[in-house]
Amino acid sequence: MKKAVLIVFLSLIGYIGSAQSIVGTNGQFFIPTAEMHPDRTLVLGAGYIPTGYFQRYNRKVNPGMPTFVTVSLLPFVEVMFRYTHELNMRVNPQTEYYPDRMFAGRIRLLKESKYIPALAVGANDFTKALGLSTASTNYSATYIVGTKSFVFNALTLSTSLGYGMDVLDLNRYDFLGAFGGVELSHKRFASSTVALEYDTRNLHLSVGHTFFDRLVLKAGLWDLKKPAAMIAYKYQIW
Protein backbone atom coordinates (compact mmCIF):
# COMPACT_ATOMS: atom_id res chain seq x y z
CA MET A 1 0.00 0.00 0.00
CA LYS A 2 2.78 2.39 0.99
CA LYS A 3 4.60 1.55 -2.23
CA ALA A 4 1.45 2.26 -4.27
CA VAL A 5 1.02 5.62 -2.55
CA LEU A 6 4.67 6.40 -3.25
CA ILE A 7 4.29 5.47 -6.95
CA VAL A 8 1.16 7.62 -7.30
CA PHE A 9 2.94 10.48 -5.54
CA LEU A 10 5.99 10.21 -7.76
CA SER A 11 3.85 10.07 -10.88
CA LEU A 12 2.07 13.24 -9.83
CA ILE A 13 5.15 15.31 -9.19
CA GLY A 14 6.51 17.27 -12.07
CA TYR A 15 9.63 17.30 -14.10
CA ILE A 16 10.48 20.99 -14.10
CA GLY A 17 13.16 21.53 -11.48
CA SER A 18 12.61 23.91 -8.61
CA ALA A 19 14.91 26.57 -10.14
CA GLN A 20 13.12 29.46 -8.51
CA SER A 21 14.89 31.80 -6.16
CA ILE A 22 13.45 33.21 -2.96
CA VAL A 23 13.47 36.73 -4.46
CA GLY A 24 11.61 36.00 -7.69
CA THR A 25 14.08 35.43 -10.50
CA ASN A 26 15.12 32.03 -11.72
CA GLY A 27 17.90 30.80 -9.47
CA GLN A 28 18.96 28.60 -6.62
CA PHE A 29 17.88 29.68 -3.14
CA PHE A 30 19.00 33.31 -3.34
CA ILE A 31 21.55 33.59 -6.12
CA PRO A 32 20.48 33.84 -9.75
CA THR A 33 21.46 31.13 -12.22
CA ALA A 34 21.66 31.17 -16.02
CA GLU A 35 18.75 28.76 -16.32
CA MET A 36 15.44 30.02 -17.64
CA HIS A 37 11.94 28.82 -17.03
CA PRO A 38 10.30 27.31 -20.12
CA ASP A 39 8.86 29.88 -22.51
CA ARG A 40 5.52 31.43 -21.42
CA THR A 41 5.99 30.53 -17.76
CA LEU A 42 4.28 32.74 -15.21
CA VAL A 43 5.41 32.51 -11.58
CA LEU A 44 3.66 34.03 -8.58
CA GLY A 45 5.35 33.66 -5.25
CA ALA A 46 6.56 34.93 -1.91
CA GLY A 47 9.68 34.40 0.17
CA TYR A 48 10.76 34.86 3.76
CA ILE A 49 14.17 36.37 4.62
CA PRO A 50 15.06 36.23 8.33
CA THR A 51 15.72 39.11 10.71
CA GLY A 52 19.27 40.33 10.68
CA TYR A 53 19.70 39.54 7.01
CA PHE A 54 16.84 41.47 5.53
CA GLN A 55 17.81 45.08 4.98
CA ARG A 56 15.63 48.01 4.03
CA TYR A 57 17.49 51.29 3.77
CA ASN A 58 19.84 50.93 6.77
CA ARG A 59 17.49 48.93 8.99
CA LYS A 60 17.96 45.25 9.76
CA VAL A 61 15.37 44.85 12.50
CA ASN A 62 12.60 42.85 10.81
CA PRO A 63 12.27 39.86 8.54
CA GLY A 64 11.47 40.55 4.90
CA MET A 65 8.97 39.10 2.48
CA PRO A 66 9.54 39.54 -1.25
CA THR A 67 6.34 38.93 -3.25
CA PHE A 68 6.84 38.59 -6.95
CA VAL A 69 5.42 37.91 -10.36
CA THR A 70 7.83 36.61 -12.99
CA VAL A 71 7.13 36.06 -16.67
CA SER A 72 9.22 34.36 -19.35
CA LEU A 73 8.39 36.93 -21.98
CA LEU A 74 10.51 35.10 -24.53
CA PRO A 75 12.39 31.80 -24.25
CA PHE A 76 15.52 33.82 -23.42
CA VAL A 77 14.03 36.85 -21.65
CA GLU A 78 12.64 36.91 -18.13
CA VAL A 79 10.96 39.89 -16.51
CA MET A 80 10.20 40.07 -12.80
CA PHE A 81 8.24 42.58 -10.72
CA ARG A 82 8.52 42.48 -6.97
CA TYR A 83 7.09 44.12 -3.90
CA THR A 84 9.49 43.67 -0.98
CA HIS A 85 7.69 43.88 2.34
CA GLU A 86 9.33 44.53 5.67
CA LEU A 87 7.30 42.40 8.06
CA ASN A 88 6.00 43.83 11.37
CA MET A 89 5.63 47.23 9.73
CA ARG A 90 2.24 48.85 9.23
CA VAL A 91 1.36 51.08 6.34
CA ASN A 92 0.19 54.31 7.99
CA PRO A 93 1.09 58.02 8.13
CA GLN A 94 3.12 57.51 11.35
CA THR A 95 5.47 54.87 9.96
CA GLU A 96 5.41 56.30 6.42
CA TYR A 97 6.28 52.78 5.44
CA TYR A 98 5.36 51.30 2.11
CA PRO A 99 6.77 48.15 0.52
CA ASP A 100 9.53 48.65 -2.04
CA ARG A 101 8.88 47.95 -5.69
CA MET A 102 11.38 46.65 -8.14
CA PHE A 103 11.65 45.53 -11.75
CA ALA A 104 14.24 42.98 -12.78
CA GLY A 105 15.17 41.64 -16.18
CA ARG A 106 17.36 38.79 -17.35
CA ILE A 107 18.56 37.78 -20.78
CA ARG A 108 20.08 34.41 -21.56
CA LEU A 109 23.00 34.91 -23.93
CA LEU A 110 23.93 31.26 -24.37
CA LYS A 111 21.91 28.11 -24.01
CA GLU A 112 23.59 25.22 -22.23
CA SER A 113 25.01 22.56 -24.51
CA LYS A 114 27.28 19.56 -24.06
CA TYR A 115 30.43 21.63 -23.48
CA ILE A 116 29.15 25.20 -23.20
CA PRO A 117 27.50 26.49 -20.03
CA ALA A 118 24.35 28.59 -20.14
CA LEU A 119 25.21 32.26 -19.76
CA ALA A 120 22.87 35.04 -18.63
CA VAL A 121 23.07 38.69 -17.71
CA GLY A 122 20.62 40.34 -15.36
CA ALA A 123 19.77 43.62 -13.71
CA ASN A 124 17.61 44.15 -10.65
CA ASP A 125 16.03 47.57 -10.12
CA PHE A 126 17.33 48.85 -13.46
CA THR A 127 14.54 51.45 -13.66
CA LYS A 128 16.22 53.32 -10.81
CA ALA A 129 19.40 53.56 -12.85
CA LEU A 130 17.37 54.86 -15.80
CA GLY A 131 15.92 57.58 -13.56
CA LEU A 132 12.44 56.15 -13.95
CA SER A 133 11.76 55.25 -10.32
CA THR A 134 12.70 56.37 -6.85
CA ALA A 135 12.47 53.08 -5.03
CA SER A 136 14.98 51.81 -2.52
CA THR A 137 18.14 50.48 -4.10
CA ASN A 138 18.62 47.81 -1.44
CA TYR A 139 17.95 45.04 -3.90
CA SER A 140 19.81 46.41 -6.92
CA ALA A 141 22.12 44.10 -8.79
CA THR A 142 23.81 43.77 -12.15
CA TYR A 143 25.43 40.46 -12.81
CA ILE A 144 26.61 37.88 -15.26
CA VAL A 145 26.18 34.22 -14.42
CA GLY A 146 26.96 30.88 -15.99
CA THR A 147 25.38 27.51 -15.24
CA LYS A 148 26.52 24.06 -16.28
CA SER A 149 24.96 20.73 -15.35
CA PHE A 150 26.81 17.47 -14.99
CA VAL A 151 25.19 14.06 -14.89
CA PHE A 152 26.77 11.25 -12.86
CA ASN A 153 24.66 8.13 -13.22
CA ALA A 154 21.41 9.01 -11.48
CA LEU A 155 22.68 12.29 -10.03
CA THR A 156 22.54 15.70 -11.69
CA LEU A 157 24.81 18.40 -10.37
CA SER A 158 24.05 21.91 -11.52
CA THR A 159 26.81 24.42 -10.85
CA SER A 160 26.55 28.18 -11.17
CA LEU A 161 29.18 30.84 -11.00
CA GLY A 162 28.52 34.55 -11.34
CA TYR A 163 29.91 37.98 -10.78
CA GLY A 164 28.02 41.08 -9.66
CA MET A 165 29.33 44.48 -10.73
CA ASP A 166 28.73 48.10 -9.77
CA VAL A 167 27.91 49.28 -13.28
CA LEU A 168 24.72 51.22 -12.59
CA ASP A 169 26.26 53.40 -9.86
CA LEU A 170 23.49 52.72 -7.34
CA ASN A 171 23.85 52.89 -3.58
CA ARG A 172 23.79 49.24 -2.74
CA TYR A 173 24.01 45.97 -4.56
CA ASP A 174 22.78 42.54 -3.54
CA PHE A 175 25.46 40.71 -5.47
CA LEU A 176 28.73 42.60 -5.46
CA GLY A 177 31.61 40.29 -6.30
CA ALA A 178 31.77 36.60 -7.07
CA PHE A 179 28.90 34.29 -6.15
CA GLY A 180 28.14 30.70 -6.92
CA GLY A 181 26.48 27.51 -5.89
CA VAL A 182 25.77 23.88 -6.55
CA GLU A 183 22.41 22.16 -6.77
CA LEU A 184 21.97 18.42 -6.63
CA SER A 185 19.07 16.27 -7.75
CA HIS A 186 18.48 12.55 -8.17
CA LYS A 187 16.82 10.96 -11.20
CA ARG A 188 14.22 9.19 -9.05
CA PHE A 189 13.34 12.45 -7.32
CA ALA A 190 13.89 14.82 -10.22
CA SER A 191 11.60 17.43 -8.71
CA SER A 192 13.61 17.65 -5.49
CA THR A 193 16.87 19.54 -5.04
CA VAL A 194 19.47 20.20 -2.40
CA ALA A 195 21.59 23.33 -2.85
CA LEU A 196 24.52 25.08 -1.29
CA GLU A 197 25.49 28.59 -2.36
CA TYR A 198 27.54 31.65 -1.55
CA ASP A 199 25.93 35.04 -2.34
CA THR A 200 29.05 37.28 -1.88
CA ARG A 201 28.26 37.69 1.84
CA ASN A 202 26.65 34.55 3.25
CA LEU A 203 26.43 30.84 2.72
CA HIS A 204 22.99 29.24 2.35
CA LEU A 205 21.85 25.63 2.43
CA SER A 206 18.43 24.77 1.04
CA VAL A 207 16.11 22.02 -0.11
CA GLY A 208 13.37 22.42 -2.68
CA HIS A 209 10.57 20.43 -4.21
CA THR A 210 8.14 21.05 -7.05
CA PHE A 211 4.71 19.51 -6.59
CA PHE A 212 2.48 18.65 -9.54
CA ASP A 213 4.78 20.57 -11.89
CA ARG A 214 3.30 23.78 -10.46
CA LEU A 215 3.91 24.41 -6.78
CA VAL A 216 7.48 25.09 -5.70
CA LEU A 217 8.44 24.97 -2.05
CA LYS A 218 11.90 25.79 -0.77
CA ALA A 219 13.28 25.97 2.73
CA GLY A 220 16.77 26.56 3.94
CA LEU A 221 19.18 28.00 6.42
CA TRP A 222 20.28 31.56 5.67
CA ASP A 223 23.95 31.98 6.49
CA LEU A 224 23.60 28.39 7.78
CA LYS A 225 21.93 29.93 10.85
CA LYS A 226 18.38 31.19 10.39
CA PRO A 227 15.45 29.60 8.58
CA ALA A 228 14.24 31.08 5.32
CA ALA A 229 11.59 29.83 2.87
CA MET A 230 9.78 30.38 -0.39
CA ILE A 231 6.51 29.30 -1.97
CA ALA A 232 5.71 29.86 -5.64
CA TYR A 233 3.13 28.79 -8.17
CA LYS A 234 4.31 28.20 -11.74
CA TYR A 235 2.05 28.09 -14.72
CA GLN A 236 2.80 27.85 -18.41
CA ILE A 237 0.46 30.30 -20.10
CA TRP A 238 -1.34 29.30 -23.28
Q: Where along the sequence are the contacts to other proteins (CB under 8 A)?
A: 39-40, 71, 73-75, 79, 81, 91-93, 95-98, 101, 103, 127, 132-134, 237-238
3-state class (DSSP) for residue 10: helix
Q: Identify the CA nearest to 103 among candidates 24, 29, 45.
A: 24
Cβ closest to other proteins, residue 86 vs residue 197:
86
Q: How far is the CB of 238 from other proteins (least distance, A)?
A: 5
Give CA torsion, residues 44, 16, 228, 27, to 10 deg: -90
H helices then E strands: how many in the chain? 2, 12
**Can you list the alpha helix ranges (DSSP code H) found in the chain?**
2-12, 126-129
Cβ closest to other proteins, residue 133 vs residue 159:
133
C-alpha separations of 230 from 147, 189, 205 in Å: 22, 20, 13
Cβ closest to other proteins, residue 72 vs residue 206:
72
Q: How far is the CB of 83 from other proteins (least distance, A)?
A: 9
What distance in Å separates the CA atoms of residue 134 and residue 164, rounded to the nearest whole number?
A: 22
Q: How far is the CB of 89 from other proteins (least distance, A)?
A: 11
Cβ closest to other proteins, residue 63 vs residue 75:
75
Q: How far is the CB of 94 from other proteins (least distance, A)?
A: 8
Cβ closest to other proteins, residue 40 vs residue 214:
40
